[in-house]
Amino acid sequence: MIEQTLTLPCGHTVANRLCKSAMTEGLADANDQATAAHQRLYSTWARGGAAIQISGNIMIDRRYLERSGNVVVEDDSGLPQLRAWAKTVHEGGSQLWAQISHPGRQCPRLVNLTPLAPSEVQLAMGGNFGRPRAATEADIQDIIGRFAHTAALVKEAGFDGVQVHSAHGYLLSQFLSPRTNLRQDRWGGSLNSRASLLLAVIAAVRARVGPAYPISVKLNSSDFVKGGFTLDESIQVVQWLNDAGVDLLEVSGGTYEQLEFFKPQAAAEIRDSTREREAMFLDYAKSIKAVARMPIMVTGGFRTLAGMEAALAGGHTDMIGLARPFCLDPDFPARMLAGQMTRLPVPEDRLVLGQGFWGPNSASNLMRALNNQAQAGWYYHQIERLGAGLAPEPEVSPLRAMVAHFVKDFGRALRRKLA
């Protein structure tokens, strides 16, 4: 089934059921614009054969970034670079969709000491994130307008669709969560009020891009933290999204405080090619799929062709989202579609700095945070190599990659402030 086309509600057709899901690239220049590295990276991925390439976070406001090195699209100054990026993807035979995003409180101190959030609830992660200020009504209206304006600009640049990021603890996800949204106005309180910003953003984006342009939403199935956004709430939000003009719903989960996609998995689980549940969010997606009228995509954990086919054939998902495997084996979709490959590379087993430190005490929490950063740094290293036109380097040490990531991020932040 992965070879079949899929026609979205807006009438747009994608060539197969494989999608490169979003991964932050960190390759923008000091002016927050796309570079030749984006073209090299996405040209490599596009030639791999997946129908859709979803960009990493394209930020709607340069005051608030997920990390230095994000592309920002808030005016037309970077349109030539965006057009070149889209052109290389099209030449590779794929589509390029822009993930448009605002980090909310998940904006590091290196970028902004006082991020913007629904409420003044600080992210407790080693002092790397400042205490946010609560968004005013004027801020919220500005955010809605910025999402719509960025969507219109990437459409003008030749991108084939947009994805509104409302997962992983970013701003729209923060508004959905009762843990981070403590507001008592029309944007907080009941789930209906907490979901109103997401729905307003989608309506504004649709008004700017027109009825035939694909709009995707990335939504948490659950935050997986006590007091956070739950599966039952996610199911209700999906029912509201049914009437909002959404063409593809990507199901994910977790926040910076609970990174589900970086949790170590037992090797036996990963290697069992017959297990339908190899995708970590598939059980949640089944419940969401039961109410969703738009196609859905599950991202996270798929590692075998058998698991992907079982999920599609069972009607639990309409598309397969994959991300990290592209860093290690960029052309795996073409080989999988040709029947030359049935199992994806799984580097996660060796990307753990300290086994046995996963208990509830503070030392284990520190080790968990370090492991998350080591895994992230390892994948950033592979993305940077691909962006430089080099082959992946799977044997690089996760510790070395983590240290290099910290150094490079500091350098990017400094160059950006000096630009």
Q: What is the pLDDT of residue 104?
A: 97
What letter would DSSP give residue 34? -
Q: Facing residues of 59 across strands?
A: 72, 101
Residues counted in the chain:
419
Q: Facing residues of 95 across strands?
A: 52
Distance CA 377, CA 109 (A): 18
Distance CA 52, CA 19 (A): 5
Distance CA 212, CA 380 (A): 34
Residues 6+ apart with CB under 8 A from 403: 377
- Please name the CATH architecture into which domain 9-348 falls: Alpha-Beta Barrel (3.20)
Nearest to 219 by CA among 171, 167, 179, 176: 167
Distance CA 290, CA 272 (A): 26
Nearest to 371 by CA among 255, 263, 243: 263
CB 19 within 8 A of CB 35: no
| Alpha-carbon separation of residue 245 from 210, 242, 354, 362 (angstroms) | 10, 7, 46, 45
Burial annotation 281-303 (CB, 10 A radius, 16+ → b, else e): bbebbbbbbeebebbbbbbbbbb
Q: What is the pLDDT of residue 356?
A: 40
Q: What is the pLDDT of residue 276?
A: 43
Q: What is the pLDDT of residue 353?
A: 52
Q: Facing residues of 133 across strands?
A: 116
Per-residue pLDDT of the chain (419 residues; tens, 9 = 90+): 999 999 999 999 999 999 999 999 999 999 999 999 999 999 999 999 999 999 999 999 999 999 999 999 999 999 999 999 999 999 999 999 999 999 999 999 999 999 999 999 998 775 789 999 999 999 999 999 999 999 999 999 999 999 999 999 999 999 999 999 999 999 999 999 999 999 999 999 999 999 999 999 999 998 888 889 999 999 999 999 999 999 999 998 877 766 544 444 433 333 343 344 466 788 888 999 999 999 999 998 898 999 999 999 999 999 999 999 999 999 999 999 998 999 987 765 555 554 443 344 444 556 666 777 888 899 999 999 999 999 999 889 888 999 999 999 999 999 998 98
